[in-house]
Amino acid sequence: MRKRKLGTTDTMVSPICLGCMGFGEPEHGQHQWTLDYEQTYPILKKAWEAGINFFDTAPAYSNGDSETFIGRFIKEEKIDRKEIVIATKFFPRTIEEIEQSVSMAEHIEKNLNASLQRLDTDYIDLYILHMWDYNTPIEQTLEALHDLVKKGRIHHIGISNSYAWQVAMANTIAADHGWSPFVSIQGHYNLIFREEEREMIPCAQHFGMAVTPYSSLAGGKLARSFSVDTKRKELDKYARFKYEKSAKADQKIIDREQEIAEELNVSMTAIALAWLMHKGAIPIAGATRAQQIDAMETAAGLTLSRSQIERLDELYVPHALVGVMAQNKPGSSPFASTKTDMKKKDVRSAY
């Protein structure tokens, strides 16, 4: 796969990023469809051999198993650390940490140290704030991250699950102080959920940020015909929660996607990912079978015609915000750990 720059940085990444949320012992996390290391290994190996050098993970994925698996794979395969790009994340402080006066700098360093240990590495290429923090002034977060960049423990920083005005504010503040800016935005964006196009993508373009969408395949809805059953389709309640209200309108787009896939004799996955790349994004796509890497390879070399793009675009209708963006709002507390707030707590492990 031909590499491209991550935004305006000099970091070269594959045109598709392997999403690693599906890697981890099923009993360790929220998702019962995740894969243990023996099942994960052939997927990581095939992705690496296919030219994918960009891997996205997080401590929330199976309580750190995903990070551990990636670190183990790199060590076992004796991969030159400089050749692979690792993105991982950290959550805002918990309510308990705030009450105990744990500073944002202390919180970030603690989380970073834990990720570095699990990944068995000395630095993180792209360290991402998992969702906007309404309880901490952004200046504190940016300054703490910049200090870690100066020390070489982080190369670049990114943001996920936020609004365009928040990103614009943060990067303007960073520029004013000479701090490291957010170089990437990881938001919910795919063929059947395009609300990022209204403000976030123009904002990212203005700041030269990379757009690295999660849910590129809409929890698998864009990867297969409606009639096909999978373990994830059966068990992924969160994906159903995100898409069930718009299912009727979305199905028209999925049917159109399938038509074009059949015309080109490629998989639906290849169409969905190629569409995102046409929009300028570096899509994050997960895999639960090594064969799914083939579709990513196909997508990387696939050019959709103007007519095909128009056919995919024309059926979209506005959607309400769902998932993290619908739940993480000013005054809300998706990070509380009390038993009475478990519904909100689920947001932490959903991505």
Which pair of tokens denotes residue 191? Answer: 């063929």
pLDDT at 244: 87
**306 to each of 104, 279, 313, 330, how far by Cα in Å?**
47, 12, 10, 41
* pLDDT-flagged residues of the chain (< 50): 333-351
pLDDT at 238: 54
Beta bridge partners of 89: 128
pLDDT at 335: 46
pLDDT at 235: 53
> How many domains does the structure of the chain reveal?
1
Which pair of tokens denotes residue 107? Answer: 């919180």
pLDDT at 21: 95
pTM to 2 decimal places: 0.90
3-state secondary structure 30-94: CCCCCECHHHHHHHHHHHHHCCCCEEECCCCHHHHHHHHHHHHHHHHCCCCHHHCEEEEEECCCC
Tell me, rounded to whole angstroms, the distance of Cα 80 from its chain centroid: 24
pLDDT at 71: 98
- Reported as a single tens digit per residue, the pLDDT across 288-337 is 999 999 999 999 999 999 999 999 999 999 999 887 777 776 655 444 43
Are residues 288 and 314 in contact, defined by beta-carbon separation less than 8 angstroms?
no
Write down the residue that tokens 């707590």 correspond to.
345
Are residues 209 and 182 in contact, defined by beta-carbon separation less than 8 angstroms?
yes
Catalytic hit among 41, 61, 127, 243: 61
Identify whether 37 is a catalytic site residue. no
pLDDT at 341: 36
Distance (Å, whole) CA 214 – CA 305: 24
- Reported as a single tens digit per residue, the pLDDT across 263-286 is 999 999 999 999 999 999 999 999
3-state secondary structure 178-222: CCCCEEEEECECECCECHHHCCHHHHHHHHCCEECCECCCHHHCC
Name the amino acid, one letter, at 279. K
CATH number of the domain within which 327 lies: 3.20.20.100
Whole domain around residue 343: which residue ranges? 4-350
